[in-house]
Amino acid sequence: MANIQVSIITIGDELLIGQTVDTNSAWMAQRLNDLGIEIKRIVSVGDIAKDIKNALDEEIAAADIVLLTGGLGPTADDITKPLLCKYFGGDMVVNEEVLNHVKHIFEVRKRPFLDRNLKQAEVPDTCQVLFNKLGTAPGMLFERNGKVIISLPGVPFEMMGIMEDEVIPYLQQNFISDALLHRSIVTAGEGESFIAERIADLETTLPLHVRLAYLPSAGIVRLRLTGRGADKQRLVKELEMYQDQISNRLENIVVSLHDLPLEHILGRTLLEKQKTIGFAESCTGGYIAHHITQVMGSANYFQGSVVCYQNEIKESLLGVKKETLDKHGAVSEQTVIEMANGARRSLKADIGLGVTGLLSPGGGEDHVPVGTVWIGVADENRTVTKEFRFHYDRPRNKDMATQIGMLMAWKFLEDKL
């Protein structure tokens, strides 16, 4: 079967009032793309029977497989399960395996099992039950006229568990599809338009089954080649040829040929070079440390971070001199030099990274323009500093400083700074 297509329907009022960001569909899309399964549309609707039914009608017509998440919880705002039962013409029955599992979960969590929890073990008798190891709401799989409709809970880790344990093996067994492959080039230092201009001639030579996308984010532009074809081995070779051509052309701004977040790229380089790192974070407030510790095994190269939101902490824990702070201010080149070296010494690290800035108005540094950030990287022998001026709001300025801080540390290690 060539190019099977999936629609995702996410259900919940919380999505439509913006209280919850839908991260489920991005995760599902990524996971299915790995299998060569393409997502055609993602639709979010509220907890309203009519809207859910309409979405089902439309997406079943348009796609081969429809995945639903949400609407399966125990409380009164959930209406999806009875709707699916009616839609596929069955009766609700208690599933013994699910019931035992739900009771077991309540026992382990030392919570009383209530009558309304019994509902969670009920499923339409027309569905195949997809067991939910991590929660109480089971997944359900329905078939109709060769199309498959799968309903999953909205809690992300429960949805992910059922996807991995049940849905993906099922899809692998029942659907074969063209390979869909991606190759990426991560760049830093030039904008989207400028990169497009530099590779315009290469882009025009791409065949129809290979597409190039530009994905800009804080300080970084990712180029993604997507190819589709029946012959996977040939497709790999083809994509890697285009990846080579483009990365050779952009050589001076290429950070990685692996589509990884910067914390992974920096972590790999630290491991390779057998160096440790420590941070002195003022305006980034621990966000760089958070990123680097998202990587499993980061304890092999990450010593720690001193989040110094007050000048007295910069002095006492990092050894920044009071005179430096008094004379030049907390947001200055002189201070960031002492912070980077202080991080290196206090945290017993080979490399120190310091970040100090003014992300939003206020904060006692009013002589410095809002958005000014100083970043410094140091080892035993040298210290490199750079000044930035970000023009966004506070969260985005923090994100920029975090990404560019990691980028500068990576460049320092690669002798590109």
Within 37-66, the residues that bind its own copies by CB under 8 A are: 38-47, 51, 55, 58
Work out the number of other CB atoms within 10 angstroms of the CB of residue 197: 10
Least distance between its own copies and beta carbon 278 (Å): 8
**Residue 394 touches its own copies, criterion: CB under 8 A:** yes
Q: With CB under 8 A as the contact rule, which of the stretches 27-35, 121-129, 139-147, 374-382 interacts with its own copies?
A: 27-35
Residues between 309 and 368 that touch its own copies (CB under 8 A):
309-310, 312-313, 316-317, 346-348, 360, 362-364
Least distance between its own copies and beta carbon 326 (Å): 18
**Residue 208 touches its own copies, criterion: CB under 8 A:** no
* Contacts of residue 264, Cβ cutoff 8 Å, sequence gap at least 6: 258, 295
Least distance between its own copies and beta carbon 255 (Å): 16
* Six-digit token string for 215: 């994905």
* Six-digit token string for 93: 């029955």
Q: Which is nearer to its own copies, 84 or 137 (CB)?
A: 137
CA atoms of 95 and 98, how far apart (whole Å): 5
Least distance between its own copies and beta carbon 113 (Å): 9
Tell me the residue type at 99: L
CA atoms of 211 and 239, how far apart (whole Å): 10
Report the SS3 class of residue 375. strand
Interface pick for its own copies out of 3, 23, 172, 174 (rule CB under 8 A): 23
Q: Which is nearer to its own copies, 74 or 90 (CB)?
A: 74
**Residue 74 touches its own copies, criterion: CB under 8 A:** yes
Burial profile 200-209: b = 16 or more Cβ within 10 angstroms, e = fewer: eeeeeebeee
User: What are the φ/ψ torsions at residue 38 (nearest 5 degrees)?
Assistant: -95, 140
* Six-digit token string for 26: 């991005």
Q: Which is nearer to its own copies, 25 or 335 (CB)?
A: 25
**Residue 19 touches its own copies, criterion: CB under 8 A:** yes
Contact (CB, 8 A) for 338 and 300: no
Contact (CB, 8 A) for 405 and 336: no
Least distance between its own copies and beta carbon 293 (Å): 3
* Six-digit token string for 373: 């950030």
**Residue 292 touches its own copies, criterion: CB under 8 A:** yes
Report the SS3 class of residue 325. helix
Residues between 119 and 148 that touch its own copies (CB under 8 A):
134
Bridge partners of residue 179, in order along the sequence: 229
Interface pick for its own copies out of 141, 254, 307, 417 (rule CB under 8 A): 307
Least distance between its own copies and beta carbon 373 (Å): 14
Residues between 210 and 229 that touch its own copies (CB under 8 A):
211-216, 222, 224, 226
**Residue 28 touches its own copies, criterion: CB under 8 A:** yes
- Strands of the sheet with 179-188, listed across from one edge: 210-217, 220-229, 179-188, 254-256
CA atoms of 152 and 70, how far apart (whole Å): 7
Q: Which is nearer to its own copies, 143 or 175 (CB)?
A: 175
* Six-digit token string for 270: 């630290």
* Six-digit token string for 345: 């010494």
Least distance between its own copies and beta carbon 32 (Å): 8
Interface pick for its own copies out of 104, 116, 237, 273 (rule CB under 8 A): 116
Interface with its own copies (CB under 8 A), residue total 107
**Residue 17 touches its own copies, criterion: CB under 8 A:** yes
CA atoms of 151 and 80, how far apart (whole Å): 9
**Residue 306 touches its own copies, criterion: CB under 8 A:** yes
Nearest to 358 by CA among 325, 316, 388: 388
Least distance between its own copies and beta carbon 391 (Å): 8
Q: Which is nearer to its own copies, 103 or 143 (CB)?
A: 103
Q: With CB under 8 A as the contact rule, which of the stretches 88-96, 233-241, 290-298, 379-387 interacts with its own copies?
A: 290-298
